């Protein structure tokens, strides 16, 4: 965590300097380095880097207001982003909606606090941006009462899969569960409460969690302690949202994932992983946020353990002219994930939803998604990947998919639902690298 609130060049330290002139940029999270709830090709970059450079991105959870004592207080960066009084709201726009939306500026059409964008020199549409996640570490609490500890929040949200399929009363309801990281491999549940209603500093009443950055006092909602007493959650730190700006619209909600990445919400997008994104606009404009301490495949209730983490990335630009036919880069028309032992293909209900669905895409995507559509897209993508990158016939690819590729449900809560296909590298005798 930085004491500064604006980007600066940090020492390379022991980071490899392959290019001979690699630099390391540090982006503290503050009201000057984040955009809230949207991607936009019109945003001014907060830093410009060259291929091979490193960037450290502090990322903040957009749900720190669920327990401000544990997730906001005493942290200058977080406080600068969340500051909102009747007189002053530091980050006014939250979401891609209208600035005069009834529930607040930006309409909450997009919720994630995104650090960036990072402009990559020379990046043009058709190029591929390789994003290596070299490290990821939690942001310690700055409130003296909880100094050094790390917390996260899970919201069973109105956009969750369960919301209209509940047994217990009252129905429906939104519930926050606060977790603490134990410093090792697990997060431990602390307490939960039924969220809302809340009146924001501008006097708008929110009966449901329909706008990001609302700061509540959990004690007012009669928190239950000792919940999930026998449970510890294996942590899977990752970036829920990581991607580049799309060209199709000036301002785009951060919620639905897209061919440019964004809110893919695959817990495999963590330390050691490499992402490949198609560059859609000049400069690429990479942003990161929505860090999660843990999430299951499906993110069923609408959120993960939402928690503030910092990531160290290396960015490599692959120019279109240098991409060999049949290389894995040649297939990057969607967010491709490489881990130590797997290739992961991301299918979506609408792979390029902004064009697939036309003028009202940003609204309609929330009505039209299905797991079935995402499964179809994932099948086609993994088949094409195997045929193009591994030079298999269609018959070879289909047999291999059936006997060795695992399809999982990435998320069913982000508008554009996802199914991923996981391909183990060990399947390939030459390593499949």
Return the SS3 of 411: strand
How far from each other are the two terminal CA atoms of the chain, in whole angstroms?
A: 35
# binding residues, a copy of itself (CB under 8 A): 72
* Residue with smaller CB distance to a copy of itself, 87 or 169: 169
* Residue with smaller CB distance to a copy of itself, 105 or 419: 419
Site for a copy of itself in 22-81 (CB under 8 A): none
Q: Which stretch binds a copy of itself (CB under 8 A): 137-145, 203-211, 248-256, 392-400?
A: 392-400
Quote the least distance from Cβ 154 to a copy of itself, whole Å: 5
* Residue with smaller CB distance to a copy of itself, 168 or 219: 168
Neighbours of 261 (CB within 10 A): 30
DSSP per-residue letters across 332-372: -SS-EEE-SSEEEEEEESSTTHHHHSGGGHHHHHHHH--HH
383 binds a copy of itself (CB under 8 A): yes
166 binds a copy of itself (CB under 8 A): yes
99 binds a copy of itself (CB under 8 A): no
DSSP per-residue letters across 129-184: EEEEEEEEEEPPP-SGGGTT--EEEEEE-TTSTTTT--SSSSSS--EEEEEEE-SS
Q: Which residues contact 255 (CB under 8 A, 6 or more apart)?
A: 109, 110, 111, 112, 263, 414, 415
Q: Which stretch binds a copy of itself (CB under 8 A): 114-122, 132-140, 158-166, 274-282?
A: 158-166
The Cα–Cα gap between 290 and 112 comes to 6
Q: Which stretch binds a copy of itself (CB under 8 A): 133-141, 143-151, 320-328, 406-414?
A: 406-414
The Cα–Cα gap between 156 and 186 comes to 20
275 binds a copy of itself (CB under 8 A): no
255 binds a copy of itself (CB under 8 A): no
Neighbours of 253 (CB within 10 A): 29
Quote the least distance from Cβ 378 to a copy of itself, whole Å: 9
Site for a copy of itself in 356-375 (CB under 8 A): 370-372, 375
192 binds a copy of itself (CB under 8 A): yes
Q: Which of 354, 379, 416, 418 binds a copy of itself (CB under 8 A)?
A: 379
Residue 283 DSSP symbol:
T
Return the SS3 of 38: strand
* Residue with smaller CB distance to a copy of itself, 87 or 165: 165
Which of 327, 328, 289, 325 lies closest to 306 in space, CA to CA?
A: 289
Site for a copy of itself in 295-324 (CB under 8 A): 295-305
For 258, phi then psi, to 5°, come to -145, 180
**Strand-pair category, 113-120 with 47-49:** parallel
Site for a copy of itself in 128-157 (CB under 8 A): 154, 156
Quote the least distance from Cβ 232 to a copy of itself, whole Å: 6
205 binds a copy of itself (CB under 8 A): no
* Residue with smaller CB distance to a copy of itself, 136 or 412: 412
Site for a copy of itself in 213-232 (CB under 8 A): 227-228, 230-232
């Amino acid at each position: 965590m930085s004491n500064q609130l604006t980007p600066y060049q940090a020492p390379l330290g022991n980071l490899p300097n392959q290019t001979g002139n690699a630099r390391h940029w540090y982006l503290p999270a503050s009201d000057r380095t984040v955009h809230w709830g949207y991607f936009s090709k019109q945003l001014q970059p907060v830093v410009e880097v060259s291929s091979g450079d490193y960037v450290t991105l502090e990322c903040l959870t957009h749900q720190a207001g669920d327990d401000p004592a544990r997730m906001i207080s005493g942290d200058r960066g977080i406080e600068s982003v969340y500051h909102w009084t009747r007189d002053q709201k530091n980050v006014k726009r939250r979401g891609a909606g209208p600035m005069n939306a009834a529930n607040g500026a930006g309409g909450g059409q997009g919720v994630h606090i995104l650090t960036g964008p990072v402009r990559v020199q020379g990046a043009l549409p058709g190029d591929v941006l390789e994003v290596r996640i070299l490290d990821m570490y939690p942001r310690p609490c700055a409130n003296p009462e909880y100094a050094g500890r790390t917390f996260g929040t899970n919201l069973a949200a109105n956009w969750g899969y369960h919301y209209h399929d509940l047994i217990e009363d009252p129905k429906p309801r939104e519930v926050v569960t606060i977790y603490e990281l134990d410093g090792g491999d697990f997060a431990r549940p602390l307490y939960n409460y039924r969220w809302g209603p809340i009146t924001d500093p501008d006097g708008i009443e929110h009966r449901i969690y329909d706008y990001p950055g609302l700061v509540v006092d959990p004690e007012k909602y009669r928190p239950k302690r000792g919940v999930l007493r026998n449970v510890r959650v294996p942590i899977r730190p990752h970036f829920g949202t990581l991607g580049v700006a799309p060209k199709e619209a000036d301002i785009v909600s951060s919620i639905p994932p897209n061919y440019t990445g964004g809110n893919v919400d695959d817990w495999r997008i963590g330390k050691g992983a490499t992402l490949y994104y198609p560059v859609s606009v000049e400069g690429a404009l990479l942003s990161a946020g929505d860090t999660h301490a843990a999430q299951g495949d499906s993110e069923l209730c609408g959120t993960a353990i939402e928690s503030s983490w910092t990531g160290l990335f290396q960015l490599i630009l692959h120019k279109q002219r240098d991409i060999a036919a049949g290389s894995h880069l040649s297939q990057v028309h969607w967010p491709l994930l490489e881990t130590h032992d797997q290739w992961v293909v991301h299918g979506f209900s609408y792979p390029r939803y902004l064009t697939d669905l036309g003028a009202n895409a940003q609204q309609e995507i929330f009505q039209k998604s299905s797991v079935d559509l995402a499964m179809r897209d994932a099948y086609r993508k993994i088949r094409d990947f195997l045929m193009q990158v591994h030079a298999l016939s269609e018959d070879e690819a289909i047999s291999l998919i059936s006997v060795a590729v695992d399809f999982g449900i990435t998320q069913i809560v982000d508008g554009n639902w996802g199914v991923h296909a996981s391909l183990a590298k060990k399947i390939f005798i030459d390593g499949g690298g």
